[in-house]
Amino acid sequence: MTKLLAGQIRLGEKLKEKCPQNDCIIYKNIYEHYENLVNDCEKFKGELSACSVSAIEEAMLKDRKELLDMYCDNYAIQQFKKMNRAKNGESEYVTTH
């Protein structure tokens, strides 16, 4: 099963708490979709056909790639991460992976 980076998870959880009205909403929605896929896959493990599992894993991989692209390259996400680092007194150069 594909996993997210720790920083991606922290960001998704923060956005679920409070999300600005910009591209962060897109990240939050993709993150929640990914979570739902993971939960469904675990919930129905053993009941799903190999074809269904493959389709879910493909969707998870697509979500993971979109989240990683946004996490690394999206301006609104970068600003949100920078703002949260400042609130927490962290250096701008601290990695969140």
Q: What are phi and psi of 23, to 5 degrees?
A: -60, -15
Model pTM score:
0.81
pLDDT in tens, 88-97: 777 654 444 4
Q: Please identify which residue in the block is written with the tokens 């720790």.
A: 6
Rounded to whole angstroms, how far apart are CA atoms 72 and 70?
Answer: 5
Q: 33 and 63 in contact (C-beta within 8 Å)?
A: yes
Instruction: Choose the weakest-confidence range: 15-19, 22-26, 92-96.
Output: 92-96
CA neighbor of 3 nearest in space, from 67, 46, 54, 53: 67
pLDDT tens digits, one per residue of 69-83: 999 999 999 999 999
